[in-house]
């Protein structure tokens, strides 16, 4: 019986020739990640270790991104705690405001995540790096603390679901439509404890940014990780972003999958998740008349360069609807700068949008776009739970940057064309 | 080890955003987090919960964010055990790592009602609904996780291992 791509990476990380689903292993970590919300809890836990210090100052990434620039005094104290810890332990990958970005956009851009890596992060969207052929998964603060101290983590080897993507998606169909469609199909616990392995001839039509978006939302189907094979596009991306050596793993031909789904990309339509679960998907053509108060374009799911380009293409020369608030958040400083150089910032501002420095802010209802009682928001973020972006009676509709930008202009949920 | 208490009952897909909303995550103090636990879906929870009470929910409990603040808030609010059909995996890990007992038991999760008095024997995994008189067998933890729980969390376990 062969191994899936995920199982092969985990076997190598554990120093084993073979692993199988359900097996408990201890694996060596290539990177341990935390943010300004989860790291302070982990740093506090670190104090309980008899052995002091971190396992490797170059294999830890600390990215204050959720409530930065500091939104209040308590957040400032959290960030100070992370900053001091990074300084005391000489953490090489600590990113201060001004150098930072939303963690899951930033780390691949900085070349810190490569194929074959075993990565844990105290943030549920750590699964994003599966786009590059790494095993990466979200954990909590105590796991992060143990990872920082020992360089290891325990895992139950997951079984997998195979998603065969076929055909060429239509013009405005992006990674977001694909992953929302899949979550709608299998449900928010459809991949619980499992790997989601994406394969098929449709992959060649998906940019790296599409793949980051898809892997990012594996957690929204309950998945332990989402993972893509390494192809020419991955290698091209790595050439641009990293000097780290990496190892490419492929699933065995006789690997066993719990289930297999064929996703015909050419048949997909712009898709939106209605409140209050990501699985509550509808195509935009059946949306009816949903009037929107706010649009957010950004986050670790959809704040990358391609997302900005699509938003700019749709907003160019237009103006958002009267009374609409449209908040655009390039995910990293590098993306922000490129948006400026390409003239997108001008396009956004002339269209009546606001452009923010990188932050997770509105996605988790932290700040920078909180919703009032009864307000509706189309958002390119990843969760539409009750109260996620503000008042418990507010509503979030998850969508692609194309649908979000078009909806900002129309004032209601619409497709780009 | 045993737990006994009154049941607070919830449905499917209780996410970590409603367990502890992000607007309170500028704090990591367990007592402060506990005062806002569950408020977006059950604003009376914090006023009614007593030390030792039990939370019962259906599938995919604790889905969403990886915030360890969620099991921390539940534990600090006084909850002695969470029983569910299934748990989201990060919440599952986090609960074990911080020493909040959780049990997967689909039958118990479906049949136990809000307000019932329930006892749990963690050694045998037996859940008893004292109100209805019915007993259920929860799924036992793998030996490795039992060791973490016995050590009262992951960090003590690693310290003991040396």
pLDDT in tens, A280-333: 999 999 988 999 999 999 999 999 999 999 999 999 999 999 999 999 999 999
Tokens standing for A141? 């603060």
Mean pLDDT to the nearest integer, A16-23? 96
pLDDT of residue B148 exceeding 90, the answer is: no
Same domain, A190 and A317: no
Given this model, what pLDDT does residue A263 score? 98
Residue A197 belongs to a domain: yes
Chain B positions contacting chain A at CB under 8 Å are 13, 15, 17-18, 21-23, 25-28, 40-41, 59-60, 63-69, 71-72, 86, 88-90, 93-94, 97-98, 142, 144, 153-156, 158-159
Taking residues A27-47, what's their average pLDDT? 97
Specify the pLDDT at position A37.
Answer: 97
Q: Which residues of A touch B18 (CB under 8 A)?
A: 385-387
Q: Could you tell me if A308 and A205 lie in one domain?
A: no
Residues A215, A228: contact at Cβ < 8 Å? yes
Domain coverage including residue B75 = 2-161
- The answer on pLDDT for A6 being more than 80 is yes
> What's the complex ipTM?
0.95
A298 and A250 together in one domain: no
Sign of CA dihedral A194, A200, A202, A204: positive
Number of domains in chain B: 1
What mean pLDDT value characterizes chain A? 97
The residue whose two tokens read 């986050």 is A299
The CATH number that applies at residue A163 is 3.30.499.10
Query: Helices A401-410 and A305-315: crossing angle, nearest 10°?
Result: 30
Determine the pLDDT at residue A380: 98
The stretch A234-243 carries a mean pLDDT of: 98
Predicted local confidence at residue A20, as pLDDT: 96
In terms of domains, do A16 and A152 share one?
yes
**Residue pairs spanning A and B at CB distance below 8 A:** 134
Q: With an 8 Å Cβ cutoff, are B66 and A38 in contact?
A: yes
Transcribe A330-350 into DSSP letters.
-SBHHHHHHHHHTTHHHHHHH
Say if the Cβ atoms of B26 and A145 lie within 8 Å. no
Burial of A27 (0-12, 13-18, 19+ CB in 10 A): buried
**Model confidence pTM above 0.95:** yes
Please tell me which of the candidates A71, A140, A365 has its beta carbon nearest to residue B21: A365
Is the CB of A387 less than 8 angstroms away from the CB of B40?
A: yes
Please tell me the predicted confidence (pLDDT) of residue A370. 98
**Is residue A238 in a domain?**
yes
Q: Residues A198, A155: one domain?
A: yes
In terms of domains, do A21 and A157 share one? yes
Contact A145 B60 (CB under 8 A): no
Q: Which long-range contacts (CB under 8 A, 24 or more apart) does A367-371 make?
A: A367/A67, A367/A71, A368/A327, A368/A329, A369/A294, A369/A296, A369/A325, A369/A327, A371/A293, A371/A294, A371/A396
User: Does residue B141 register a pLDDT over 80?
Assistant: no
Same domain, A172 and A78: yes
| HSE-CB for A234 with a 13 A CA cutoff | 22
pLDDT in tens, A99-126: 999 999 999 999 999 999 999 999 999 9
A24 close to B (CB below 8 A):
yes
* Mean pLDDT value of segment A216-233: 98
Judge whether A152 lies within some domain. Answer: yes
Whether residues A192 and B26 touch (CB distance < 8 A) is answered with: no
Is the CB of B68 less than 8 angstroms away from the CB of A364?
no
pLDDT band, residue A29 (cuts 50/70/90) = very high
CB-CB under 8 Å, A143 with B154 = yes
Would an 8 Å CB–CB cutoff place A286 in contact with chain B?
no
Same domain, A55 and A188: yes
Neighboring chain A residues of B15 at a CB cutoff of 8 Å:
383, 385-386
8 Å CB contact between B26 and A364: no
Least confident of A76-85, A148-157, A211-220, B117-126: B117-126
Are the C-beta atoms of residues B63 and B88 closer than 8 Å to each other?
yes
Q: Please check the confidence at residue B146 and state whether its pLDDT lies above 90.
A: no
- Quote the pLDDT of residue A102: 98
Q: Which residue has the tokens 């120093």?
A: A15
Q: Predicted confidence band at A207 (pLDDT cuts at 50, 70, 90)?
A: very high
Contact A142 B98 (CB under 8 A): yes
Which sign, positive or negative, has the C-alpha torsion B61, B67, B69, B71? Answer: positive
Which chain A residue has the Cα nearest residue B153? A142
Q: Above 90 in pLDDT, residue A217?
A: yes
Residue pLDDT, tens place only, B46-75: 999 999 999 999 999 999 999 999 999 999
Is residue B149's pLDDT more than 90? no
**For the residues of B99-125, what is the DSSP string, one character each?**
T--EEE-HHHHHHPPTT-EEEEETTTT
B123 has pLDDT over 90: no
3-class SS at A117?
coil
- Is A190 a domain residue? yes
Q: Mean of the pLDDT values across residues A7-32?
A: 97
Domain hosting A57: range is 5-263
Chain B environment of A50 (Cβ under 8 Å):
159
Look at residue A385 in the predicted model and tell me its pLDDT.
Answer: 98
pLDDT tens-digit series, residues A354-411: 999 999 999 999 999 999 999 999 999 999 999 999 999 999 999 999 999 999 999 9
Q: Pull the structure tokens for residue A273.
A: 């998740």
Q: What is the pLDDT of residues A81-102, one digit of tens each?
A: 999 999 999 999 999 999 999 9
In this predicted structure, the answer to whether residue B162 has a pLDDT above a threshold of 80 is no
Do the domain assignments include residue A340?
yes
Q: Which residue has the tokens 């418990």?
A: A392
Which helix (H) or strand (E) segment holds residue B83: the answer is: strand B81-84
Determine the average pLDDT of the residues in A34-46. 97
Distance CA A123, CA B65 (A): 7
Q: What is the pLDDT of residues B11-23, one digit of tens each?
A: 999 999 999 999 9
C-alpha distance from B82 to closest chain A C-alpha (Å): 18
pLDDT higher than threshold 90 for residue A279: yes
Residue A416 lies in a domain: no
Same domain, A308 and A248: no
Task: Determine contact, residues B61/B81, Cβ cutoff 8 Å.
Answer: no
Q: Is A70 on the interface with B (CB under 8 A)?
A: no
What pLDDT, on a 0 to 100 scale, did the predictor assign at position B142? 78
- Per the CB < 8 Å rule, is A222 touching B90? no
Number of domains in chain A: 2
Residues A165 and A197 occupy one common structural domain: yes
- pLDDT at position A105 is 98
Domain boundary among A246, A263, A280: A263
């Amino acid at each position: 019986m062969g191994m899936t791509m995920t199982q092969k990476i985990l076997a190598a990380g554990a120093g084993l020739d073979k692993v199988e689903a359900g097996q408990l292993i201890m694996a060596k970590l290539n990177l341990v990640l935390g943010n300004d919300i989860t790291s302070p809890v982990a740093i506090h836990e670190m104090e309980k270790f008899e052995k002091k210090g971190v396992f490797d100052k170059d294999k830890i990434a600390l990215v204050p991104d959720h409530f930065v620039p500091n939104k209040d005094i308590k957040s400032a104290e959290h960030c100070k705690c992370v900053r001091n810890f990074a300084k005391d332990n000489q953490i090489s990958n600590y990113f201060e405001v001004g150098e930072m970005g939303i963690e899951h956009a930033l780390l691949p851009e900085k070349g810190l995540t490569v194929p074959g890596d075993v990565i844990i992060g105290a943030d549920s969207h750590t699964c994003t790096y599966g786009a590059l052929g790494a095993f990466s998964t979200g954990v909590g603060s105590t796991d992060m603390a143990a990872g920082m101290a020992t360089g290891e983590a325990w895992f139950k080897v997951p079984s997998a679901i195979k998603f065969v993507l076929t055909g060429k998606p239509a013009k405005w169909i992006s990674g977001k439509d694909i992953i929302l469609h899949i979550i709608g199909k299998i449900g928010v616990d459809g991949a619980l404890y499992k790997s989601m392995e994406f394969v098929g001839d449709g992959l060649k039509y998906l940019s790296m940014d599409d793949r980051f978006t898809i892997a990012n939302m594996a957690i929204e189907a309950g998945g332990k990780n989402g993972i893509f094979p390494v192809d020419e596009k991955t290698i091209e991306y790595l050439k641009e972003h990293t000097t780290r050596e990496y190892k490419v793993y492929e699933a065995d031909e006789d690997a066993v999958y719990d289930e297999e789904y064929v996703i015909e990309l050419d048949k997909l339509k712009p898709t939106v998740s209605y409140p209050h679960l990501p699985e509550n998907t509808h195509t935009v053509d059946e949306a009816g008349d949903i009037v929107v108060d706010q649009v957010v374009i950004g986050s670790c799911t959809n704040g990358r360069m391609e997302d900005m380009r699509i938003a700019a293409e749709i907003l160019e020369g237009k103006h958002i609807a009267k009374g609409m608030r449209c908040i655009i958040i390039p995910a990293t400083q590098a993306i922000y700068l490129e948006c400026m150089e390409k003239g997108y910032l001008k396009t956004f501002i002339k269209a009546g949008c606001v452009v923010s420095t990188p932050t997770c802010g509105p996605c988790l209802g932290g700040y920078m776009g909180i919703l009032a009682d009864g307000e509706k928001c189309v958002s390119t973020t990843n969760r539409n739970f009750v109260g996620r972006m503000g008042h418990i009676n507010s509503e979030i509709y998850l969508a692609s940057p194309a649908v979000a930008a078009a909806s900002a202009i129309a004032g209601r949920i619409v497709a780009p064309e | 080890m045993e737990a006994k208490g009154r049941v607070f009952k919830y449905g499917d897909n209780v996410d970590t955003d409603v367990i502890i909303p992000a607007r309170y995550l500028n704090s990591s103090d367990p007592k402060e987090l506990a005062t806002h636990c569950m408020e977006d879906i059950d604003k009376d929870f914090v006023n009614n919960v007593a030390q030792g009470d039990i939370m019962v929910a259906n599938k995919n409990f604790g889905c969403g964010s990886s915030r360890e603040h969620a099991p921390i808030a539940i534990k600090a609010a006084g909850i002695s055990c969470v029983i569910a059909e299934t748990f989201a995996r990060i919440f599952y890990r986090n609960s074990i790592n911080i020493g909040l007992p959780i049990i997967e038991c689909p039958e118990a999760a479906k049949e136990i009602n809000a307000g019932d008095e329930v006892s749990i024997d963690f050694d045998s995994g037996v859940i008893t609904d004292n109100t209805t008189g019915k007993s259920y067998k929860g799924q036992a933890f793998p030996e490795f996780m039992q060791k973490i729980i016995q050590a009262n969390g992951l960090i003590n376990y690693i310290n003991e291992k040396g």
